[in-house]
Amino acid sequence: MIILASQSPRRKELLAELVPEFAVIPADIDESVRPNEAAIPYVQRMAAEKAAAITQAYPEDLVIASDTTVVVDEEILGKPADREDARSMLRKMNGRTHWVHTAVVLQKGEQLRQAVVSAEVVFRSLTDQEIDKYLALDEYQDKAGAYGIQGAAKVFVSSINGDFYTIVGFPVTTVYQLLQEFMEEE
């Protein structure tokens, strides 16, 4: 059996395009950033901890875990605590470039495959009214950097350099390639 260690509806939808059947068992881990921890090691650690937590309970199954973070000026922007936190994040990215890093870990028992995929995103200049209107939709909740590129915030993006699905939080091509590697080993 394949287990998706995430409650993200976006990840569930995208994985369903790759494999016909899988279970969804979200991992409950501490997502705190450690002092002086850089973004890529952070997302790698988060994805690995999610995979390990579920693998411990289901060692015979293939676990797929993923984590995404947004970075601006070397500051990691995780999921906003509330609306004001989301507003602050959007203002930091307003009219600027930021990075989105997504780590993926596939684990079955001791077998492990992992990757990190990054994309550069440029936001156009936003008005306070645009930010307020977006925040009123509550789409910022439970999203790294307070936005989802596939939702209403898509109009904030003037350009991307890299894989679109990395920004969504599930780099489909990378997951597919890692799945192929696992299947070849079995």
Catalytically active residues are 67
Q: How far apart are CA 153 and CA 134, in angstroms?
A: 7
Residue 50, SS3 per DSSP: helix
**To the nearest 5 percent, what fractions of the chain are helix, strand and coil?**
40, 25, 35
- In total, the chain counts a number of residues equal to 186
Q: What angle do CA 28, 140, 121 make, to 5 degrees?
A: 100
Q: What residues contact residue 97 under an 8 Å CB cut-off, 6+ apart?
A: 72, 120, 121, 122, 123
Q: What is the CA radius of gyration of the chain?
A: 17
